[in-house]
Structure 1
Amino acid sequence: MGVLENKARARLFYKYLSKVYDQVNPFIWNEEMRTEALDLFGVEEGDVVLDVGCGTGFATEGLLERTENVHGLDQSVHQLEKAWAKFGKNEQVRFYRGDAERLPFADDTFDALWSSGSIEYWPNPVDALREFRRVVRPGGPVLVVGPNYPKSTVFQRLADAIMLFYDEAEADRMFREAGYDEFEHHFMGPTYSPDIAITTVARVPGAAPEAVETESA
């Protein structure tokens, strides 16, 4: 387990990173990548969306272009302070301080769930993915963006020492173990490293209520 796959260390890390996060982030996760992921996500106006690991609100900003019903959750109060400065605490977005592995929401609360740049810090990612499945209504999308496993042996050792990096096979294992039957992976990144991120779009098992009504009609 990497040194930052520890919640206390991750909070301390983001206490300092939050000061420069918005300046550093575009080199790894930029607007073009966000738009590509949003198109894959496929949410529509009126959908209620949870952004897990919302950080300073970079993804939140993109989600607000698709729907006004966005909720953000993060474990770092320092990251949330940056997000509050942009959106207000409960104005454009309702924010929560919480843990991805123990979401403070009832079953089937959201139409969709987004999480970018967060999975690499979770000590138990399968537990979090199960939580995502629990709080999203049947048939709803769950999108997770994480760091793709490096190809170089040297960088693999470095990655393993820091945080969770994973390849397509490991993504398959995690999502299957968490109870998802339908999912697909996409690789994306800036021009200098086009496969730096692995984006998984999954569907929560079970037919959406509208589909059930149609079939029974």
Structure 2
Amino acid sequence: MDEHQWYLYPVLAARVARLAGGPFDVAVDMGTGPGLLTAYLARDLARRVHAVDINPAMHELARSTCTRMGVVDRVEFDRCDVHRLPYPDNHADLVVSYSCFHHWADPVTGLRECFRILRPGGMMVIWDTDGSRKSAVERIARVVRDPAHLRFVTEAFDESYAPAEVSGMVAEAHLPDPFLGPFSIDEEDVMAAIDDLANGASLPDPGEAGDGTAVAWELIVRKADPAPAQS
């Protein structure tokens, strides 16, 4: 994944900074995978990052990535399950997850857990493939030439949820005032991450099908600060 979409992670970190601000005390990367988003969060946005994954092989990759980027001392590599997180209520300022939601066995429980560990004023941001856009694979294949990468993309479409399904899960989880909409790379986020990009002018967009239409969705939920006590 990192060899094909390495450019995406600094852009996602820049997007989170634009949406949520920062710096933060604690962030959680739910499904760290190769650890690139974790590393950028630790470098730019959070004093402490929990890199969550149930696969120890992913933690080996993530630890190597964070070591290479000089942030390993700010990251905790937590082998745990999104359905039963070990963190207390109101633990994190930020929860993010990229291309992991479709792997959750019970997305409603996972959403509730992510929201539970958010502090008041915190934000969760989740990105994943739009499972209703399976027809886009043919167009994407014209751009993606590497067979392994194309197989990864095809599997993501096959396994992912349509936004309408996600909307139902969000409602069932009783998340307050969610924003759920199409996701594609924003030029403002690219420019914010330009120093980390080898050639920002020619970036492909993993959120588009090659015809300008979005093939990924974005969920944003904020946990409100408690109402002030009545005097």
The TM-score, its normalising length taken from structure 1, stands at 0.74
In structure 2, what is the equivalent of residue 85 of structure 1? 64
> What residue in structure 2 maps to residue 188 of structure 1?
184
Query: After superposition, what is the alpha-carbon deviation per residue over 1:148-198, rounded to whole angstroms, capped at 9, x for unaligned?
Result: 12435596xx7698412322x222211111111211124215445351321
CA contact (8 A) 2:35 2:62 kept: yes
Deviations 1:78-121 (A, max 9, x none): 11101112325961211101111111111111122111111011
**Aligned match of 2:170:** 175
Matched, 1:67 2:54: no
Cα–Cα, structure 1 residues 208 and 161, in superposed 2: closer, same or farther, change >3 Å?
A: closer
- Range with bigger deviation, 74-83 or 194-203: 194-203
What is the match of residue 17 of structure 1?
A: none
Assess, with a 3 A threshold, how the Cα gap between structure 1 residues 202 and 154 changes in structure 2: closer, same or farther: closer
Instruction: Name the SS for the 2:133 alignment partner.
Output: coil
Distance in 2 (CA, whole Å) between partners of 1:202 and 1:107 is 16
User: Which runs of 5 or more residues in structure 2 are unaligned?
Assistant: 138-153, 186-203
Aligned pairs, how many?
188
Is the contact between residue 120 and residue 225 of structure 2 (CA under 8 Å) also seen in structure 1? yes
Query: Is 1:113 the counterpart of 2:95 in the alignment?
Result: yes
Segments of 5+ residues of structure 1 without an aligned counterpart are 1-20
- After superposition, the Cα gap between the structure-2 partners of 1:69 and 1:145, relative to the gap in structure 1 and judged at 3 Å, is same
Q: Give the AA of the match of 2:173.
A: A
CA contact (8 A) 1:159 1:165 kept: no
Deviations 1:115-145 (A, max 9, x none): 1111011121111001111111234211111
**Range with bigger deviation, 75-84 or 177-186:** 177-186
The separation in 1 between residues aligned to 2:35 and 2:105, in whole angstroms, is: 23
Secondary structure of the residue that 1:103 maps to in structure 2? coil
TM-score (norm 2): 0.70
Residue of structure 2 in register with 1:10 after alignment: none
